[in-house]
Structure 1
Amino acid sequence: MVFSKEEYNLVEDILLNGNHFNRQQRAFIELFESKIIIASPGAGKTTSLAAKIILLLRYLYENGSRDGVCIITHTNVAVNEINTALQKAGIKSVSHPHFIGTIHEFFNRFCVTPYFKKEYGHNALVFGGPENNDKQFYKRYIGIKKSWIKQEKFRGFHKSIVNKIYNNPIFYNEKSEKIDMINRDNWAKFEKYKQDMIEAKLSRKMRGFLQYDDTFLFSKLFLNDLKFKSVIRNRFKYVFIDEFQDTTVEGIILLKEIFNDPKNVIQMVGDPYQTIMYEQPMPTLQENQLYRMNLSNRFGNAVALPLNQIMPEANIQVKEGKESFKPIILVYQEEQSIYPAYKNILDEYERENSIFKECDKADKVLIRNKGWASRVKEGVTYSKKKTNKRISKNVQLKNLIIDFICGEIIDEQMQPQDLKEWVINHPKIHEMNNILLNILKCNLNDDRKKQIRDIINCLLTEKNQETINVNNSLFRECESILHSNEYIEENTSKDINDIFTIHSVKGETLRSALIVNFDKGPLVDILLHQYGILDEINYKYTDRNLLYVALSRVTCLFVFAIHEDELTDEARERLSIHWIVRGIN
């Protein structure tokens, strides 16, 4: 598919402020065959993908095509970025037959919800409910299934089997074509009670109370019917998966099962060398399936050279004329001297170079472990600022109590959606609203706990369920809601707003970064190994990726603090090819 000069002018005006896509970006925008697109840091992946989607949607609309476009992103932030770009291009929303959202949103909408509607006659789904609600359900279920377990002498066993039901995941066994369960702790009596535990867990999930991983289990069950798989495949001809290296492996497998078809175009876009979640496997790559966008606009050759030394597979190229500064190995003796020395370097570069001074990106200290923050700046604790929920506390409390009641009731004759409506519309719930208002005005004292308890027990008694007392963990959760966000923390991050974990800045662009490596962390050894200073060493591939991510954030300058005992004369000499090695005066 080739787009005209006028069409490129449109997206370049919107996305690049009049600048132009380079040859690699244009080739990607016009590429419509199934490929894995390896996009280096600063290669313009997100912008190019947005342009591709704008032009594709316009093409489909102008030609009256009903081919669907499916855009799967890793986060809702990416969804918003693409939607904003589309709106600027005059595409108000991504509507039928198209889709944009996270991988969980995709499978929940097109697989899990229709599966529950088809199999269980409802689509009232609750994801990530309180652990205690699940365990209380399992306790009652097993108690009904095996009444002997309620005897006092089996009390410990009763509690133990409830925990095992909760902790042992279920999965679809391809060989037996049935739901199975993993014996995580090698329990000797597992096989004897396995079927009861599976039934207890499924009974809870059939009512719509799911954990986030259940998305892929029930999607798998839904897609076992080939006609449903065919419906989804036929709807979406074009499928784009952004940040594929961070996408859940189970989800990627299911997407491939659906869309690996000659009639479909499926493109996975991202950077496998930025796979930094410790349990996430490194994506398998075959060169004939790849298209590489390795021309970076973010930094110059001074950053690209050490970056390619650390990750030769990336083979990053840079735009001619793009200027960066030779990175610095900052040699220290005392940990507390690192941060002031870094600040002095920033002041020095601002005085001496206008490009550095005029860059509007942030300067950040990057740490591998949160506990290192206080060692970089004495007396501080790592804190990640959180946004306050916009849902009122009154609504949070009411929703918590309603979900709790629904979770306590086992009613085989009532569908979960009908049960929730029954609870919401019950006269006692309307009576509870006034009590909640009094709680917000005053506090949750013993009398008000008893009032809430009595209302809950009234509904539970109507459904022949066990009642609760004021010691139930529900009331601790209520108190947690009442106390959350009650005070704005003073000086939340003023002292440490430039200290972040490497994981937290992935995807950002910085002016400069300082990385520290304490407690024999692997990053220094990886650096020395990649420069041939250390012989073969054992480290996780995610740690090398972590160093790659940290170094590739910057446009101008990278500083790596290394203790003097870790640098031999040979190391200083070899590193000086790409780095400035300087001590702290």
Structure 2
Amino acid sequence: MKLFETKTIVAYPGAGKTTALAAKIILLLRYLITIGSREGVCIITHTNVAVNEINNALQKAGVGNVNHPHFIGTIHEFFNRFCVIPFFKTKLKHSNLFIDNQHSGDIEFYESFLAQRHSWMSESVRTAIAKRICKSGLFFNSSQGTLDLENSSEWSLEKFEKHKAKMLAAKIARKEQGFLQHDDTFLFSQLFLLNSRCKNILKNRFKYIFIDEFQDTPPIGAELLRDVFDSEYNVFQMIGDPYQTITYGQPMPVTKKEQTFYMNLTNRFGNEVAQPLNTVMPNANIQTSKDKKSFAPVILLYDEETEIYPAYKSIIKEYEEQESVFKKSDKKDKVLVLAKKWVPILKDGLVYKDKKPKKIETNNIRLKRLITDFIVKRIANNRGNSTEVKKWIDKQGNNIELNTILLTFLKNRNNNEIKQKLVGFINEIFEKKGISKINTKNQLFSEIEKILSFTFNIEEIAEDIDDNIFTIHAVKGETLRSVLVVDFEDKHLTNILLYRYGKCEQRDYLYTHHNLLYVAMSRVTHLFIFAMNKNDWNDKLRDKLQQSWTIKEVDSIRNKEAVLLS
């Protein structure tokens, strides 16, 4: 509760950022309840995992979930709820939004749009321009306060300017129907916030604003939040670690020292890891508690890449025998790579798998497929094959109407009026083909009810992953017992390590690679290992690194194991 002013809070790995943020929100909500205040608290998170973490902490503290007048969610959820939906309701008189980066009917819509307004166009020209419209991105023209179109389809400037007006009109018409992509959230929010009254309503609604993991917040989103909430009235805090900006091409956020509060005391690892980590990233200045102990990081020298993984397993076994705390740790051991194609080099024949659950279809998609298949099957049984029927249905142009019905159905599945609308929609298609009509007692509605009642357990659908090789990007935010980093080909990470220890000239490397090495090193509680080819090693480097690193060679590890086995 001591820090309640507009600040940027830089929290380094293991500093307890999420715990501190949850504790602050608990204290703040309790305080607001005590004084009977209706001032809103807004928490913007990077993922829904963080939402769950904070809500779980609130429940344990007896505060309960974050509810009205407060908000917790991702930046897209925030702007969709408080800007995009209100914009569509007030300006376009509907709120049927379908936010997805792939809308299968876009080209067909643009072709139809062009045909209605430019009948002189041939079908081939309409198709060609429709494809260009799909590839051309919208942007907010701040000088005019309107949406504009950029030439991102590699078209000649002359042709683009010739067709730009009609392309822009078609693009906006499609968006106005509610078919949006994820980045459109910020475009329509910018339009909504042009109204100073709307901006002031939002500013007064939420007095306290917290942005978690600010380094991962889209720059345009962060700028919009600042524009609304960075005022004398609001308490606006951004919390995160700029050195964990590891998305290629995303600029690192700039923080002003006088407006920044630093949380640099880590509870994750001991000074044995902190000292080399501060050498790699000097500005971090990470501090450790005296009772936290780790192993000195290891340089693993190898000749052949295939020797690395077995040597890593041997080192883990060796350290488990030395230290019971390490052996009993429930944290995982992982091998980290920059490129997925390196995986078969480390473990022969192994192919990298994205360590994510299988994609879950939304109920909207499942319902749409069920209804479409039902219609196709009924017609195909009487009139030709299913492929021809599907093509015929697509040409009817009923997708928008069906999506609207299904969206309303999902919100209120027991509404008889909506069921009748769906029956009417289906019967209208059947009537064109001379197929007998249905009613709400049809088996289709029993199948619909099954989908609406379906729940899933994320653990049941997750793939069973046996290997422990991941990209550095994939483990960001995790705490691990040990990490092995390999660095093949261009050896960006090796060059950064050598430069930071003063053993090679400064080279032009991406800050992203610098941050990736920092993220990889800071995952561990106990042991960090960096595999280095002997060709990149020399005695001068040994003299420099052995002060804080343990140097191990694959040959020595293999020979030691051979002696033990004999």
Normalising by structure 1, what TM-score? 0.80
Cα distance in 1 between the residues matched to 2:395 and 2:176: 12
* Alignment partner, residue 53 of structure 1: 25
Distance 1:567 1:307, change over 3 A: same
Unaligned runs of 5+ in 2: 376-390, 409-417, 435-459, 556-566
Pick from 133, 156, 167 the counterpart of residue 187 of structure 1: 156
* Alignment partner, residue 251 of structure 1: 221
Confirm whether residue 80 of structure 1 aligns to residue 42 of structure 2: no
* Alignment partner, residue 539 of structure 1: 509
Deviations 1:398-439 (A, max 9, x none): 37889x989974999x9985797689824366579xxxxxxx
Residue correspondences, number: 501
Cα distance in 1 between the residues matched to 2:273 and 2:461: 38
Q: Give the conservation status (yes or no) of the 8 Å contact 2:306–2:346.
A: yes
The amino acid across from 1:270 in the alignment is G
Deviations 1:363-401 (A, max 9, x none): 100111111111111111111244343767853623788
Confirm whether residue 145 of structure 1 aligns to residue 117 of structure 2: yes
Tell me by how many angstroms 1:186 deviates: 5.0
* Alignment partner, residue 439 of structure 1: none
Cα distance in 2 between the residues matched to 1:489 and 1:91: 32
* Alignment partner, residue 114 of structure 1: 86
Cα distance in 2 between the residues matched to 1:330 and 1:241: 39
Tell me by how many angstroms 1:114 deviates: 0.4
Distance 1:431 1:348, change over 3 A: farther
Q: Give the conservation status (yes or no) of the 8 Å contact 1:137–1:407.
A: no
The amino acid across from 1:177 in the alignment is G
Cα distance in 2 between the residues matched to 1:98 and 1:399: 38
Q: Give the conservation status (yes or no) of the 8 Å contact 1:327–1:580.
A: yes
Confirm whether residue 579 of structure 1 aligns to residue 565 of structure 2: no
* Alignment partner, residue 196 of structure 2: 226
Q: Give the conservation status (yes or no) of the 8 Å contact 1:309–1:531.
A: yes
Cα distance in 2 between the residues matched to 1:141 and 1:336: 58
Cα distance in 2 between the residues matched to 1:384 and 1:176: 43
Tell me by how many angstroms 1:492 deviates: 4.6
Deviations 1:298-330 (A, max 9, x none): 000110011111101111011112101100000
Matches within 5 A, 1:310-325: 310-325=280-295
Cα distance in 2 between the residues matched to 1:527 and 1:407: 60
Pick from 204, 215, 221 the counterpart of residue 174 of structure 2: 204
Tell me by how many angstroms 1:150 deviates: 2.4
Cα distance in 2 between the residues matched to 1:294 and 1:77: 24
Normalising by structure 2, what TM-score? 0.83
Cα distance in 1 between the residues matched to 2:553 and 2:482: 18
User: 1:147 aligns to what SS in structure 2?
Assistant: coil
C-alpha RMSD over aligned residues: 2.9
Q: Give the conservation status (yes or no) of the 8 Å contact 1:406–1:423.
A: no
* Alignment partner, residue 213 of structure 1: 183
Deviations 1:450-472 (A, max 9, x none): xxxx769879xxxxxxxxxxxxx
* Alignment partner, residue 559 of structure 2: none
Confirm whether residue 167 of structure 1 aligns to residue 163 of structure 2: no
Cα distance in 2 between the residues matched to 1:406 and 1:105: 32
Pick from 132, 135, 160 the counterpart of residue 107 of structure 2: 135
User: 1:183 aligns to what SS in structure 2?
Assistant: coil
Cα distance in 1 between the residues matched to 2:258 and 2:553: 47
Deviations 1:496-528 (A, max 9, x none): 1x1111001000001100000111231101111
The amino acid across from 1:387 in the alignment is P
Tell me by how many angstroms 1:191 deviates: 1.2
Confirm whether residue 178 of structure 1 aligns to residue 146 of structure 2: yes
Matches within 5 A, 1:487-506: 492-494=464-466, 496=467, 498-506=468-476
Matches within 5 A, 1:280-295: 280-295=250-265
Q: Give the conservation status (yes or no) of the 8 Å contact 1:35–1:268.
A: yes
The amino acid across from 2:135 in the alignment is N
Confirm whether residue 43 of structure 1 aligns to residue 15 of structure 2: yes
* Alignment partner, residue 423 of structure 2: 427
Confirm whether residue 336 of structure 1 aligns to residue 306 of structure 2: yes
* Alignment partner, residue 40 of structure 2: 68
Distance 1:270 1:395, change over 3 A: same
Cα distance in 2 between the residues matched to 1:574 and 1:138: 64
The amino acid across from 1:105 in the alignment is E
Tell me by how many angstroms 1:187 deviates: 2.2
* Alignment partner, residue 381 of structure 1: 351
Confirm whether residue 550 of structure 1 aligns to residue 520 of structure 2: yes
